[in-house]
Amino acid sequence: MENLIKICCCKLPESIKEQKLHTLYSKKFLRLVLQRTMQIEVREEDIVYGKYKKPSLRRYPDIHYNISHSGRYMLCAVAKVPVGLDIEFCRERSQEKLARKILNNEEYEIYLNASDRQKCFFRYWVLKESYLKWTGEGITRDLDKLDMTQWWKFLEIDQDYECCIYSEKETQVEVIEIPYGELEATDEKGGTYMNDEYVTFTIGKQKKIALIAHDGKKQEMIQWCEDHKDILKNHFLCGTGTTARMITDRTGLPVKGYNSGPLGGDQQIGAKIVEGNIDFVVFFSDPLEAQPHDPDVKALLRIAQVYDIPMANNKATADFMITSKYMNDEYDHQVINFKNNIAKRASTL
């Protein structure tokens, strides 16, 4: 953890993207993140503030964190070294006057010559904001006179946002997705609302799709991907090893490959579903051939059902799913409140 910054990222529903609602969720989010990344419980009195209102943890002085939120995203960086984090939604408006105010002469020249001035402006903005959050000063200094000589990294969170992490020296960064349903199921004290049997998860407009096919169905899967290439190219694709490789080679679609099915690939896909990192599964299974990893296949099907994940097991179902109106929209679905379920089982067994 000494050389690692963990950044937890939660995408919020459209209905709570306003700034005032972010404030209500930020304390819940901090407690959830610290439980997840550091296995510590934090109380209200543990949070103390420095000279410029930068928060720290009274009982855990060696743990540093920084929260940022904008638009539909809430992020929290946790590390054993001081960090600064900023994310901004790239609003389409004139930035000329503000750019002249916050950029030094060299930066302003780069901005004027940039092919995408809006992107350039917001990159400078999140860099300077993350630096000031790292120092703990906030916007108390002239932004065109900052001496930023340490280490920073721009993060690709969403094409409509710019995000930057700042620290004293180069550090490994791990981004962890926190499903909104998990945040919603957390109360203000970091626990779980025990009266909720289900929590709401949101499948975003850009889907995370797993593509799997048994050997006898691989050619059919490749052709299906080719037929729907214009739709699939707009989403994040992953798959079991051989299938992923063949789809990429034959169609040009980028598909992140896990292990092949018999070597644990189906279980890897199942684990990603549990983590909230897969929204949609297309699995062309072969009903006429025995599979050596059949228990893994059944486990994957069960996990998809438990987490209410849309799954197609043949071409006809896949055609209906990919042409559904929900492919271009967000979709809210109900998932078992696993924290509630664990607490109940632990108290009765």
Tell me, yes or no, if 266 is annotated catalytic: yes
Return the DSSP state at 254. Answer: -
Are the C-beta atoms of 30 and 76 separated by less than 8 Å? yes
Side-chain-side CA neighbours of residue 247 (13 Å):
31
| Residue 24 CB contacts under 8 Å (≥ 6 apart), including other chains | none
User: Is 42 buried (19+), middle (13-18) or exposed (0-12) by CB count in 10 A?
Assistant: buried
**In sequence order, what are the residues at sequence separation of 6 or more whose Cβ sits closer than 8 angstroms to the Cβ of residue 161?**
70, 71, 73, 87, 88, 89, 90
φ, ψ for residue 51 (rounded to 5)?
-55, -40
Name the nearest CA neighbour of 72 among 160, 147, 143.
160
Q: Computed from CA positions of residues 41, 45, 51, 52, in that sequence, does the dihedral angle turn out positive or negative? A: positive
Helix/strand/coil percent split, the chain, to 5: 40, 25, 35
CB 158 within 8 A of CB 89: no
Q: Pairing between strand 47-49 and 55-57?
A: antiparallel
DSSP-derived secondary structure letter, 349: -
User: 22 with 13: CB under 8 angstroms?
Assistant: no
Of the residues 116, 215, 227, 266, which is catalytic?
266
Q: Which among 232, 251, 245, 239 has a CA at the least distance from the CA of 278? A: 239
Cα–Cα distance measured from residue 166 to residue 122, given in angstroms and rounded to the nearest whole number: 15
Q: Which residues are catalytic?
A: 266
